[in-house]
Structure 1
Amino acid sequence: MRVLIAFDKFKDALTAPQACAAAAGALRAKHPDWELDLCPLTDGGEGFVEILTQQPGEPLAVSGPRGISVTAPVGFVSSQVLPAAARERLGVNGTVAVVGMAAASGLALLAPEQRNPWHTTSVGTGQLLAAAAARKPAAILLGIGGSATNDLGFGALATLGLRFIDAFGQVVDPPVPARWHQIVRIEGRVALPPVFIACDVTNPLLGPKGATVTFGPQKGLPPTDVLELETRARRMAELLCDHCERPRTFMTAPGAGAAGGISFGLMVACGAKLIPGFDLVSDWLGLTTRINAADIIITGEGRFDATSLDGKGPGALVARARRVGKVAHVFAGSLGVEADRAHHAITPPGLPLADALPRTAELLAAAVGHTL
């Protein structure tokens, strides 16, 4: 029996590799003769570099989302070792630098009381991109899941060559949204190798489905501030488009609102291209081949609900497995879909979240061992 073990992270509890290891431990104890294929997943957030490069990456000290130094990796991989489908999706030949925004500008880096998009910055992500570019790769791949920011990527762009100027000719640094009212013009240009952004979000930059309205409150933005930040974001987006001589229609592009608008900023300032994140990760990890080789697929994440079924992550993996007639099981901390023989909530009824989180590995192993 061959089992593909492909978990995403359990937020605030287990990384994707840790979840895979917990499930594998349970299966090895119960079925020592089974063949296990561990394939941690990433949604472009935590673990993006480590999972795609299969290495810890080169650690760099960069500015965190509130300016305090954090350590974040940059990874490098030769395109020649990638599956053909991943090479074709990127269309590059040579070294690919891999950067994860969550490691430098991620929400998980901040305590709840520190989360506020008026004051968070993507400067650290820009520092990672600059370090990657210094190695002259054929391309840079950026994962943008899990961000703490709503700064249109201005912090990153300031690191990469743009200057945000006030009425007195002084540079506004960092150009966080709380200081946008000071900015009257932009100077400079950004020069990077081709940048690809792994992105499954289709939200535009502005409007009811835009970055501020949809994601701002999740990042600590007071609901009463949404309209004000949206208004300021529109002015700054127009200023950037005009400076870079790019059409303002970039604001309505699908995905422009991802990660607080950093995808918009990089598309406008340096021609970054958005590519479907899960499709790229699937090609990169050879998921189709690994699904076909498996008899059973087990997957899951912290919460599995209707949003898990929208074409990415564990939901997409399960759909692919079932299309080719494979048995697939989902294990999650909590379920937003009906529990059945294929969908399993690992948390016992009545167990408080605060008590469940430290026991996630134990609960996952128990559920997998009981089911299989």
Structure 2
Amino acid sequence: MSIEAASPGPRIVCAPDSFKGSASAPAAAAALARGARAALPDASVTELPFADGGEGTLDALLAVWGTPAKTVEVVDALGRPASALFGISADGRTAVIEAAQANGLPQVSDVPLQPERADTFGVGLIARAVLDLGVDEILLCIGGSASTDGGVGLVSALGARFADADGAPIAPGGGGLSALASVDASELDPRARSVRWRIAVDVDNPLTGPRGAAAVFGPQKGADSEAVASLDAGLSHLAEVLADSPAEAETLAARPGFGAAGGMPMALTALLGAEVVPGSTMVAEAVGLTEALADADIVLTGEGSFDSQSLGGKVVAAVRDHAPASAHIVVVAGRVGLSPAECREANITAALSIAPGPADLKTLSERADTLIEDTAAHACSLVAAGMTQRKDAL
């Protein structure tokens, strides 16, 4: 977190998400801050890159913690050698893992997608590396996965054994779940149970059914209708094996958020006691969002596209909800899809697009930093003028 010394001017906090494909959250925060300082030289400006637990969360937390990313050798979703990044907080107590570093779709896009084979074993290898560093808590961000294995691969990498009726290990990936007959956790790394796990999700899909992991997200991972049915049945069977009763299995399969990232929360909650939390809530606590916004006069936030979905647990909504009622919330975005009336109803002071006029996405992406900076400067000038007028009227 970058904080300037107190000054007589307004207190401004820059807390954006990444502008996907154009600017990381740290880069966007820096650009907003430059614009704020250019417009209001006497302002006190804080840069607080933010994320909702999805892509970019690792970068955002490392920027706030002021620590470098660490690298570990793992395997990708198809079991091929790969490298992955993870982060450790400055005090060494908290780790952040982006699961897609080891089971993401981009890493396996060079070959035909294998939705029933892809697994989370590589994510478990990252977890082993952070446990070796003695952390107390693991923040697991699980978006962008290529797998639908219910988290079985991850927990297998930590020592649990998932076997078929003959006692042999089941095949990797969601395609092997229907053969599962028993789970042996006797060799599970005890450190994995002693740390606190928090799984960041930004969807509320259940594990199975029409809105489940396989039905909704399977097709984008290469699953046809037959594979979707097989994966859904496998996840349902996994819940049955892990649960103490059929009723509990149904409850687990219907739990909101358990369908995220191919059902990854299922095995982690059952065997490791993991908590499933909204990603923006988890990140807000990790970066101290409430404290950072406590005395803000102007809050600059933003993302690539600002629309109705932005108000449902994403970064903009989290920033707004943690800001004091007196603060002016300004959204800077590549695209603004809400009307002024909708913004007012959502307690957003203003939402401004960085597009200076007709422009294609490529042009906006190439100039994102400059356009974000310029838009922030305009926004701060306008808000500050309004604040001055109100003070004069009093």
- Interval containing the TM-score (normalised by the shorter chain): 0.7 to 0.9
Does the C-alpha gap of structure 1 residues 278 and 135 become closer, same or farther in structure 2, counting only changes over 3 Å?
same
Change (3 A) 1:290 1:270: closer
Q: Report if the CA contact (8 A) 1:62-1:128 is conserved.
A: yes
Cα separation, 2, equivalents of 1:233 and 1:148: 15
State how 1:94-133 maps to structure 2 within 5 Å: 95-109=93-107, 111=109, 117-133=115-131
Give ranges in structure 2 of 5+ residues lacking alignment.
1-9, 344-348, 381-394
1:71 alignment partner, one of 73, 84, 90: 84
| Count of paired positions | 353
Give me the whole-angstrom Cα distance separating, in 1, the residues matched to 2:255 and 2:216: 16
The one of 203, 208, 216 equivalent to 2:210 is 208
Structure 1: runs of 5 or more not aligned? 80-94
Correspondent of 1:140 among 130, 135, 138? 138
Is the 1:266–1:272 contact (alpha carbons within 8 Å) kept by the matching residues of 2?
yes
Q: 2:30 aligns with which of 15, 21, 28?
A: 21
Aligned sequence identity (%): 34
> Per-residue deviation at 1:225?
4.4
Larger deviation, residues 137-146 vs 305-314: 137-146
- Pair 1:363-2:371 in alignment: yes
Q: Distance in 1 between matches of 2:226 and 2:326?
A: 49
Could you tell me whether the CA contact under 8 Å between 2:165 and 2:182 is conserved in 1? no
Aligned: 1:338 with 2:346: no
**Deviation readout 1:204-258 (Å, 9 max, x if unpaired):** 211222222233344454467433432332233323447x999413222232222
Letter matched to residue 46 of structure 1: E
Counterpart residue type for residue 57 of structure 1: A
Deviation at 1:8, TM superposition (A): 0.7
Q: Residues 108 and 246 (structure 1 numbering): CA distance in 2 closer, same or farther, change over 3 Å?
A: farther
Counterparts of 2:221 and 2:334, CA distance in 1 = 22
- TM-superposed deviation, 1:310: 1.4
| 2:174 maps to which of 173, 177, 193 | 177
CA contact (8 A) 2:15 2:301 kept: yes
Distance of 1:154 and 1:272 partners within structure 2: 14
Identify the match of residue 235 of structure 1 among 237, 247, 250. Answer: 237
Whole-angstrom CA distance in 1 between matches of 2:21 and 2:305: 11
Q: Rg larger in 1 or in 2? A: 2
Q: Distance in 2 between matches of 1:117 and 1:368?
A: 43
Query: In angstroms, what is the RMSD of aligned CA positions?
Result: 3.1
Q: Does 1:9 align with 2:18?
A: yes
Secondary structure, counterpart of 1:145 in structure 2? coil
More deviation, 348-357/66-75: 348-357
For 1:124 and 1:101, the matched residues in 2 are separated by: 8
Aligned-partner Cα distance in 1 for 2:351–2:107: 31
Deviates more, 1:215-224 or 1:336-345: 215-224
* Residue identity matched to 1:268: A
User: Among residues 330, 345, 361, which one is paired with 1:353 in the alignment?
Assistant: 361
Change (3 A) 1:142 1:14: same
Which residue among 182, 201, 205 is the counterpart of 1:199?
201
Alignment deviations for residues 24-61 of structure 1 (CA, whole Å, 9 cap, x no partner): 23333444333210000121233434433431232212
TM-score, structure 2 length as denominator? 0.78
Task: Provide the C-alpha distance between the structure 2 equivalents of 1:337 and 1:116, rounded to a whole number of angstroms.
Answer: 39
Separation (CA, whole Å) in 2 of partners of 1:286 and 1:230: 38
- How far apart, in 2, do the equivalents of 1:12 and 1:108 lie? 14
Alignment deviations for residues 186-209 of structure 1 (CA, whole Å, 9 cap, x no partner): 443134123222334332211222
**Structure 1 equivalent of residue 48 of structure 2:** 39
SS for the counterpart of 2:294 is helix
Letter in 2 for 1:314: V
- Asked if the contact 1:49–1:75 (Cα under 8 Å) also holds between the matched residues in 2, the reply is no
Cα distance in 1, alignment partners of residues 24 and 73 from structure 2: 22
Structure 1 letter corresponding to 2:161: R
SS in structure 2 of the partner of residue 260 of structure 1: helix
* Greater alpha carbon shift after TM alignment, 28-37 vs 150-159: 28-37
Q: Tell me what 1:325 maps to.
A: 326
1-structure distance, mates of 2:269, 2:37: 46
- Structure 1 residue identity aligned to 2:173: V
| Contact map agreement 2:71 2:83 (CA 8 A) in 1 | no
Structure 1 pair 212–140 and aligned structure 2 pair: CA distance change class (3 A)? same
Residue number in structure 2 paired with 1:278: 280
Structure 2 distance, partners of 1:239, 1:31, is 61
CA distance in 1, matches of 2:287, 2:298: 18
Residues 24, 116 of structure 1: CA spacing in aligned structure 2 closer, same or farther, 3 A cutoff? farther
Q: Once the 2 structures are TM-superposed, how far is the Cα of residue 328 of structure 1 from its aligned partner?
A: 1.1
